Structure 1
Amino acid sequence: MDATTYTDGLAKLRTLRDDIKKTAAALARLETQRDKTVTTLAAHDKATAERIAPAAGLSIAEVVALAPQLAPQDITAPDPHPAPHAAENSRPDPQPPATPAPDPAPCAPLKQPTDHGAPRDLPTLPQDTDTRRWFTPTSGLVSQYPNFIQQARPTVFLDTATGILVHRDQTVRLDLGDRSAAAILTAVFHTVPDSIQRIYITAGAPWHRDADRYPYLKDAVAAWLNAPTPGWRTDTGRGRDRMAGHFVHARNPVARYQRDNGDHHVEIRSVGEWFDLDDTDHPGIVRDAFRLLWEELRRHFSDAVIMGSPSQTGRDLWTRTIPRRGKHADGFPVLSEELRGLLHATAGQGRNELITPPRVPEQLPALIEYDRTFAYAKHTWKSPIGAPRRITGKAFASWSAKEQHDALYGCGHWHIRVTVPDGWNHIGLLPAPAPGERAWHYPHAPGTTFTTWAGGPEVHAALTNPIQPWKIEIVDGILWEAGKPLDDWSKKLKETWTNLSAQAHFQGDAQQARAAHLASRAVRSILLYGIGSFAQRPRMVTGTTPRTAERDVPPDAEIIGFDDQQITWQRPTGFARDPNAHPEWAAAIWSAARAALLTQYHRDDDTHAGALHTPPGTVVAFRTDAVYLTTPQNWPHRHRPGDYLMKGHLPGPVNAPTSEEELLTLRDTGRHALNSTPEEA
């Protein structure tokens, strides 16, 4: 670049800066005008937040924040809104038991200490008189071995950037025109037979083709999915794995179509659901990866079928490990909808936290990423089963120290009051609700007291941590019998993963090695998203309404996008009658995984690993299964699930990241600097 080009670029940048300031100012004026209009309308005696929200393009909560008088009078229910670790099997020596607390007022929402924004309430268990309904499994809903054989769907692989299509052993190049869904369907079915039911997009992301025209990627995706497709209409679903309509997702949407005559169904999906691809990955490599995946799964699951997504595949494979004789031959009962809702609201997933100055230095001596290999597979050996029982604070207090220890080490979900001990100078240990939907933070300041819910592994880790025990009072709890409903399924997936990882390492052909690596990553996704699917979040329905019929937008809907022609909205519809809904399993695994980020014991090496085994001030961030540090650690890695693998090492000095975007940029730079081998991940 010469000096003239550089100078011109600076001038253009200044112009863009000024335009951004003007646009931001105009937006601020419009938002102010909108907010004033909302407050004016709220004075009407028949005004409701449900009516004003869609007209303003706001959520009901946002309208209520502007006009508190519109708040419903019965806001005591949990938030209905929802987009991959106990250290070892050995039991540590008993520690001082947790202290019970008095039972709370029945169903009283608990206010949480927060730094910014309104506090978020967590639900509580009901009065004793209502306990029977909550703790009785849902009638007629049991996970049982399926009485049908899953049918495979013929599949092709398409790179929409180059037009390369792979169908079995045939490779052709298509003219995809404007890359609309209509153009893709036309081009593909001029080349392959109508028996094809699934089109995997390997590159090109055609649903982002008009992203510059929309404020959010999700809007661009929705427009692409809902564009006219002559000869086709939106699929209404069929079969036992009935999935009707399009699924709007910013990066991995699912388009479902059927011929106008109804005799041909096809879905367009992204392979990004399964694994990340490089720019050099040809659709043929992706085909080989799925072929290897199917062959290896068949070694352990005789009737294995690769379904559209890893979560569908994972759950289907699991159902085929349900015992058909013995203790659990009658299946695994599904919790009441009340308990499923409570777990949904109180059991978070992965720990995602960025620790910024002054808790860490402005200039980091290094940024080192340690990622737990195939982490969730480590924590499936023990899971809650059957109908749970309630353990009140008073009941817990009446137990012996051993009984309390066994309960906290067992399969439980605990309502607790936590106090950070005096003199504490390390990271927070337990999640507390933060402002925002399903947001969590980790209080760490000495003397801080908060009330929350946490799984047994995290409570046990906080009580027995290697630095200083935390004070935890048991307010209430849910306790299950311990069993192994996921153990057989998980072992088979771990063996499949091990075999494919070995192929990736020892395969002499570079393309086949790459295909084996991708297949191993797909196994990881099957287990990771299979576990997530047990959580069974409340269903969200997405719909559109013409702008001319704005009054027809459902009153409980949230506006997620709009243009000159139509309004796009979504609304929760509660829990489906899903016989394989087991949020207690997902919650237990997530809790164990978060605990293992703090501390886990490696028996073979007689050593510990985890964030609490590093000096204070050296932990920079957590991202699900990874911890980012400023100093290297000599943690063992024996290529087993749960082991910490150094994935990135960026030598310092490094400016401490202050946003997720900055952290991810440093992460990628650190991985490149280390020249890590993906086969170990």
Structure 2
Amino acid sequence: MDSKEFTAALGQLRQVREDIKAVRKELQRLEADRDKRIVALGMYEKAKADRIAPAAGLSVVDVVALVPHLGPRQRAAPTSATAQAEPADDGQAAAASPPLGPVGTLAPDLRRSEEPPATADSSGASLGEPVHAAGEGPQETEAEPVTDAASPAVDETAGQHDQDPVRAPAPATAPAAEQGRELPSIPAGERGDAWCVPTPNLASKRPNFTQQPRQMAFLDTDTGVLVHRDQTVRLDLGAASVSEILTAVYATVPDSVERIYITAGDPWHRDADRYPFLRDAVAAWLNAPVPGWSVESSRGKDRLAGHLVHPRNPVGRWQRGDQHTEIRSVGEWFDPAGADPATVRDAFVLLWKQLRHHWEDVTLMGSPSQTGRDLWSRTIPAKAGSRWAEGYPVMSEEIRGLLHATAGQGRTELIVPPRVPEKLPQLVEYDRTFAYAKHTWASGVGAPRRITAAAFAAKSEKEQTNALFAPSHWQIRVTVPEGWDHVGILPAPAAGDRAWYYPAEPGQTFTTWAGGAEVNLALRNPITPWRIEILDGLLWESGTPLRDWSTKLKDAWASLQALAANHGDERQRTAAHLASRAVRSILLYGIGGFAQRPRMTTRSVPVGCEHEIPAGAQIIGSDGETITWQRSTGFSRDPYAHPEWAAGVWSGARAALLSTRMREDDTFVGALHLPPGSVVAFRTDAIYTTHDPAWPYHGQPGDYLKKGHLPGPFTGPRTEEELLSLQTLGRAHLAEEQEGGQ
């Protein structure tokens, strides 16, 4: 290309730019028209968000953001005095009145409690002073999670069997609307109390064996480069089918290699354009015939046989006689960001070396979730006579199902006009560093105590305050204060499977479940307390089952971070950085592993053999030759299932996303410390805002790191895709700003 051609190409590029602007302008016009139509439809008295959403091509949460009154709200129960002063005129009027719902007890004013009655950690965080954590913590399962369909329906008498509770005064205004999704309740009386009895003969105990290591190989399916130990070769993988990969790899490495990590290439996406969903493409790739191999069915006590069909990080398991192998994505551990297989291998070596400083018998297992749980199990007290030396009890299947249905993970929310300006002056991204580690200082242990509304009413104010600062999970009726002009605090169930939204409209009333950290924050947030009625709850003894484990992981993370910053060799710096991300994944996914979703079985049958699909199964894909189905098999007798710990961490993370104190700087940070109307979005542990608060950053777990800055003005995002596009632009712009300032 010469100068003339370059100039001409620039002109063509400018024309493309103008065309893009025109298309975007037209798209914005259409989206604005769509939003107006949604708002107009929302004025219809029988309108429902879950009917409007598919017609608009949006999620229910997006529709509720545009028309807040379509979100989950209920009419608050009138006071006894009101009921007596305004009796029904006749029997027909009484019959027409809506049921009051379960009776609640008003929570105390926690602002009078200057110091929370809970042990603070080294960072100054306590159960009553929540600190935010990163990322939702998924566990390795056979399919995406589903709401527990067997969970009981709401029992309007729940929480009334101890004594007559105190009915809290009703708010002045609380417009009625249909609840988006009904959450389960604990049954009244002895049946519900029995839920609090742990599963018999099932407890988390320290293992008396050492995990056996499995040899690994690292393969880039784009380039064909394979690394095993110190050996590097280039393979001809053809179309990179499972059969071609296994044939080429085992022609080069010994049969003792049992894990093949794909570092780049994503071969399971090669035919993605043939399928409506990535999951279908992945299932077809995994289930293609592999001559000489069969899908692994079992191996001793290993229950993770068969394939894991995941759209991004699938796991394939095969066997050939006594030989077993897995093909996995290294993306389970970290984003390699273009690192070659040798650097990825070095990252795993550095990870193992750092963890070995704290666990002499450390073995890197297939996934960070498995590794995290195994490392945690080796911190369980073993000394005879010590507390919990006999193991941590596992909750009943009913409590596990309740927590699965009522304890969400990270907060994901996009806020749109009129709650934010149409044109944003700028967009700043603040993201917390390794933040889950800030929520593992104290957790609930032992059998939970049920605290009904009556039992809560019978407590003294001090006892009520102590309960709300302890590890707990509460069923509550919530009313947003009059005059509230900021983001929502507590999650409410939206229509859709495991969907949540955050009511913020003044006077809005809804019933939900929330962890103690969030309830605590709602009662003593920095703006004005929310009105909380306790309907029912679970209260645990405060213990430290995760503290030793998370402290060791934080130490390993800090050492690798220092190595990444100071090593003289660029490859080793990259490897150390990747290894530090792997430590983060071990803690993040390890906590998610405690949640123990209902187990899903995924299988495939040839077309024409539909009669072999069991009753209750769901068809999830078909390529014309095979049909893939999945079915929930309920909760297994997993000795390491502790959803109460995962729920506590997630609740603390969501609460601290809104407000927490940095004691070393005597500064409060979080969304509620930003101006009203300035928060544009939440993505788990990140806040996107039009205001730059310049919060302190020391590189410690839980600190807010400024990761992006995009100057405006520009139209704010209306979809998640638009937010992610702005995120990419903001991060690139901030990097340029930082480079220019050096």
Structure-1-length-normalised TM-score = 0.83
**Higher mean C-alpha deviation, range 453-462 or range 122-131:** 122-131
Which residue in the other structure is 1:186 paired with? 247
Equivalent in 330, 334, 345 of residue 271 of structure 1: 330
Per the alignment, do residues 208 and 114 of structure 1 end up closer, same or farther by CA in structure 2, a change over 3 Å counting? farther
Letter in 2 for 1:314: G
Which residue in the other structure is 2:724 paired with? 664
CA contact (8 A) 1:103 1:476 kept: no
Percent identity (aligned): 62
Letter in 2 for 1:235: E
CA contact (8 A) 2:205 2:392 kept: yes
Matches within 5 A, 1:272-421: 272-279=331-338, 281-325=339-383, 326-421=386-481
Superposed displacement of residue 569, structure 1 = 1.5
Q: What SS does the corresponding residue of 1:453 show, helix, strand or coil?
A: strand
Q: What SS does the corresponding residue of 1:451 show, helix, strand or coil?
A: strand
Superposed displacement of residue 546, structure 1 = 2.9
Q: Distance in 2 between matches of 1:148 and 1:237?
A: 20
Q: Distance in 2 between matches of 1:217 and 1:561?
A: 10
Which residue in the other structure is 1:583 paired with? 643
Q: Distance in 1 between matches of 2:210 and 2:442?
A: 28
Equivalent in 544, 567, 574 of residue 634 of structure 2: 574
Q: Distance in 1 between matches of 2:14 and 2:457?
A: 75
Which residue in the other structure is 2:66 paired with? none
CA contact (8 A) 1:367 1:654 kept: no
Query: CA offsets per residue over residues 506-555 of structure 1, 9 Å max, x none?
Result: 11211110000000000000000000000000011112233313344323
- Does residue 230 of structure 1 match 2:291? yes
Matches within 5 A, 1:416-427: 416-427=476-487
CA contact (8 A) 1:135 1:389 kept: yes
Aligned length, in residue pairs:
591
Letter in 1 for 2:157: A
Superposed displacement of residue 197, structure 1 = 0.4
Which runs of no fewer than 5 residues in structure 2 stay unpaired? 1-8, 27-119, 130-153, 161-173
CA contact (8 A) 1:208 1:220 kept: yes
Matches within 5 A, 1:20-59: none
Q: What SS does the corresponding residue of 1:178 show, helix, strand or coil?
A: coil
Q: Distance in 1 between matches of 2:717 and 2:570?
A: 36
Which runs of no fewer than 5 residues in structure 1 stay unpaired? 18-84, 94-101
Per the alignment, do residues 187 and 90 of structure 1 end up closer, same or farther by CA in structure 2, a change over 3 Å counting? closer
Q: Distance in 2 between matches of 1:114 and 1:522?
A: 48
**Higher mean C-alpha deviation, range 491-500 or range 540-549:** 540-549
Per the alignment, do residues 119 and 4 of structure 1 end up closer, same or farther by CA in structure 2, a change over 3 Å counting? closer
Q: Distance in 2 between matches of 1:246 and 1:168?
A: 26
Q: What SS does the corresponding residue of 2:357 show, helix, strand or coil?
A: helix
Superposed displacement of residue 578, structure 1 = 0.3
Per the alignment, do residues 291 and 176 of structure 1 end up closer, same or farther by CA in structure 2, a change over 3 Å counting? same
Superposed displacement of residue 654, structure 1 = 2.7
Letter in 2 for 1:143: S
Superposed displacement of residue 567, structure 1 = 2.0
Computed over aligned residues only, the root mean square deviation of the Cα atoms, in angstroms, reads: 2.6
CA contact (8 A) 2:474 2:516 kept: yes
**Higher mean C-alpha deviation, range 610-619 or range 632-641:** 632-641
Query: CA offsets per residue over residues 570-607 of structure 1, 9 Å max, x none?
Result: 11110011000000000000000000001001111111
CA contact (8 A) 1:391 1:477 kept: yes
Which residue in the other structure is 2:579 paired with? 519
Q: What SS does the corresponding residue of 1:430 show, helix, strand or coil?
A: coil
Which residue in the other structure is 1:169 paired with? 230
Letter in 2 for 1:191: T
Letter in 2 for 1:276: D
Q: Distance in 1 between matches of 2:290 and 2:535?
A: 56
Which residue in the other structure is 2:272 paired with? 211
Which residue in the other structure is 1:626 paired with? 686
Equivalent in 260, 271, 288 of residue 199 of structure 1: 260
Superposed displacement of residue 346, structure 1 = 0.2
Superposed displacement of residue 6, structure 1 = 7.9
Matches within 5 A, 1:231-246: 231-246=292-307
Matches within 5 A, 1:505-516: 505-516=565-576
Superposed displacement of residue 302, structure 1 = 1.0
Equivalent in 104, 120, 125 of residue 89 of structure 1: 125
Query: CA offsets per residue over residues 371-392 of structure 1, 9 Å max, x none?
Result: 1110100010000000011000
CA contact (8 A) 2:158 2:452 kept: no
Which residue in the other structure is 1:104 paired with? 156
Per the alignment, do residues 451 and 161 of structure 1 end up closer, same or farther by CA in structure 2, a change over 3 Å counting? same
Q: What SS does the corresponding residue of 1:389 show, helix, strand or coil?
A: strand
Query: CA offsets per residue over residues 308-338 of structure 1, 9 Å max, x none?
Result: 0000000000000000021111010000000
**Higher mean C-alpha deviation, range 556-565 or range 196-205:** 556-565
CA contact (8 A) 2:159 2:536 kept: no
Which residue in the other structure is 1:21 paired with? none
Q: What SS does the corresponding residue of 1:300 show, helix, strand or coil?
A: coil
Superposed displacement of residue 404, structure 1 = 1.0
Superposed displacement of residue 4, structure 1 = 13
Q: Distance in 2 between matches of 1:114 and 1:316?
A: 50
- Does residue 153 of structure 1 match 2:214? yes
CA contact (8 A) 1:107 1:124 kept: no
CA contact (8 A) 2:159 2:453 kept: no
Per the alignment, do residues 173 and 4 of structure 1 end up closer, same or farther by CA in structure 2, a change over 3 Å counting? closer
Matches within 5 A, 1:603-618: 603-618=663-678
Q: Distance in 1 between matches of 2:155 and 2:458?
A: 14
CA contact (8 A) 2:155 2:188 kept: no
CA contact (8 A) 1:137 1:336 kept: yes
CA contact (8 A) 1:107 1:123 kept: no
CA contact (8 A) 1:103 1:475 kept: no
Query: CA offsets per residue over residues 454-503 of structure 1, 9 Å max, x none?
Result: 00000000000000100000000000000000000000000000000000
Letter in 1 for 2:282: V
Shift >3 Å, 4+ stretches? 1-7, 85-93, 113-118, 239-242
CA contact (8 A) 1:116 1:435 kept: no
CA contact (8 A) 1:114 1:434 kept: no
Which residue in the other structure is 1:257 paired with? 318
Letter in 2 for 1:592: G
Superposed displacement of residue 3, structure 1 = 6.4
Superposed displacement of residue 5, structure 1 = 13
Query: CA offsets per residue over residues 241-267 of structure 1, 9 Å max, x none?
Result: 4311011000100010101xx210000
Q: Distance in 2 between matches of 1:121 and 1:429?
A: 19
Equivalent in 173, 181, 184 of residue 120 of structure 1: 181
Q: Distance in 1 between matches of 2:299 and 2:611?
A: 32
Letter in 2 for 1:121: E
Query: CA offsets per residue over residues 162-220 of structure 1, 9 Å max, x none?
Result: 00000111111000011000000000000001110000000000001111111111111
- Does residue 431 of structure 1 match 2:491? yes
Q: Distance in 1 between matches of 2:683 and 2:13?
A: 43
Q: What SS does the corresponding residue of 2:709 show, helix, strand or coil?
A: strand
Q: What SS does the corresponding residue of 1:548 show, helix, strand or coil?
A: coil
Per the alignment, do residues 169 and 116 of structure 1 end up closer, same or farther by CA in structure 2, a change over 3 Å counting? farther
Equivalent in 199, 218, 241 of residue 138 of structure 1: 199
Which residue in the other structure is 2:559 paired with? 499
Per the alignment, do residues 669 and 5 of structure 1 end up closer, same or farther by CA in structure 2, a change over 3 Å counting? closer
Letter in 2 for 1:296: Q
Q: Distance in 2 between matches of 1:103 and 1:345?
A: 16
Per the alignment, do residues 409 and 245 of structure 1 end up closer, same or farther by CA in structure 2, a change over 3 Å counting? same
Q: Distance in 2 between matches of 1:552 and 1:92?
A: 53
CA contact (8 A) 2:474 2:515 kept: yes
Per the alignment, do residues 231 and 547 of structure 1 end up closer, same or farther by CA in structure 2, a change over 3 Å counting? closer
Letter in 1 for 2:209: F
Superposed displacement of residue 128, structure 1 = 1.2
